[in-house]
Amino acid sequence: MAVLFVILVGAGAWVTFTGPGPQVSDSDATIDRTDLSVRLNDEWDLPESANDSVQTCITSGTPGDSIGVYGTVTVTVPVQDGFDRADHDYQVVMTLVDVGETTTKTGDYSGRETVRFFWIVEDDETLAVGETTTVRIRVRDGPEVLAESTQNVVVEEGDQTFDCEDAAIRESDRHSVDV
């Protein structure tokens, strides 16, 4: 009986002093894979139109005078059994270190997840095509950093394409303004 009493007291003390433990361990979270590109487009040229016409255009690519960050980040954030995922989420925080800009995407605790980034930042003339820039990626749970990775990415030249239709201006649509 004395041995059983000592075992129960020891187990109770262990649970009391150690607690249930963290739900997510920062040593368990990982940034498994990144596939990112940084594109700089200094140009801000609109396509030419014929006289007396209006253009309707659809454009794609990196907008003029901007930096685009495109790609995916795959993270693994394992959780212990009994963790209530409905009340928790985490953030994947991406920082363009040289530019000083940060964006955040929210994920849920589902184990392994791929977060997609399509991020446009105004060009502050810090970056140049062909130079290397630093991208820092952090996985955060509130103030706690679960995982961190730094990646050097070569800045590519961004481009922008236009698919336009010209429409002739009718005389009734013309407006003149006297200044």
Q: How far apart are CA 97 and CA 105, in angstroms?
A: 17
More confident residue, 177 or 103: 103
Which residues, in sequence order, are CB contacts of 24 under 8 Å at separation 6+? 77, 78, 79, 80, 83, 109, 141, 146
pLDDT of residue 23: 44
Mean pLDDT confidence for 88-94: 86
Of the candidates 97, 50, 87, 78, the one whose C-alpha atom is nearest the C-alpha of residue 147 is 78
What residue has token string 């009986």? 1
pLDDT of residue 44: 67
Q: Decide if 69 contacts 36 (C-beta within 8 A).
A: yes
Mean pLDDT confidence for 29-53: 81
Q: Report whether pLDDT(93) > 60.
A: yes
Q: Report whether pLDDT(102) > 70.
A: yes
Of the candidates 83, 91, 80, the one whose C-alpha atom is nearest the C-alpha of residue 146 is 91
Of the candidate ranges 14-28, 60-74, 77-91, 156-170, the one whose mean pLDDT is the lowest: 14-28
Of the candidates 78, 84, 77, the one whose C-alpha atom is nearest the C-alpha of residue 138 is 77
Q: Decide if 147 contacts 46 (C-beta within 8 A).
A: no
Of the candidates 77, 79, 91, 94, the one whose C-alpha atom is nearest the C-alpha of residue 34 is 94
More confident residue, 3 or 148: 148
What residue has token string 């003339």? 125
Query: Does the predicted TM-score (pTM) go above 0.75?
Result: no
More confident residue, 36 or 45: 36
Q: Report whether pLDDT(81) > 80.
A: no
